[in-house]
Amino acid sequence: MATLQASRAKILGLPLASAKSWGLNRAIYYAAAKRGFKSGGAPTKPDKYRSSYGEYWLGQDKAYKVRAGGRMLFTIGGDIQRPEDFKRQIEQRFQGTFRQAWKEALEILRRYKKEALESPEHFYQQVYRPRRDELAAKWNERASSKSEAAS
């Protein structure tokens, strides 16, 4: 989810650091939604970044953003999703094959009309859901092969 969401954000115009932050943010958001949100009320604002905190719309999908280190990054539950977090939590799972997966994700998403990428529902139904199992299996196999070759 994070890789396809980050690719979606990149294609829709976010700089790479912001796109990776978006991808991780959306993966966290949808995982929490799947489990059932635990907290209610207003979103938690990171104390240090209150002055730059606000809503951001990527097409019809809303997240909360801050300015940190000169970059627009996304936040959920008071935590900022940084590109470094994306690298640690997502890219490292690919065992050195992330660049190939990233390129493939961008190629896939470029085939879709902007409207499909801007809509969270269309993105999920038309892009993510039909490909998630196939891509996860393919990317896991590639990472496993790379890991075994290194052993």
Mean pLDDT of 81-107: 94
The tally of CA atoms less than 13 A away on the side-chain side of residue 34 is: 7
pLDDT in the model for residue 144: 84
Decide if pLDDT at 41 tops 80. Answer: no
pLDDT in the model for residue 101: 94
Domain ranges for the chain:
2-42+79-150
Decide if pLDDT at 150 tops 80. Answer: no
pTM for the predicted model, two decimal places: 0.87
Decide if pLDDT at 148 tops 80. Answer: no
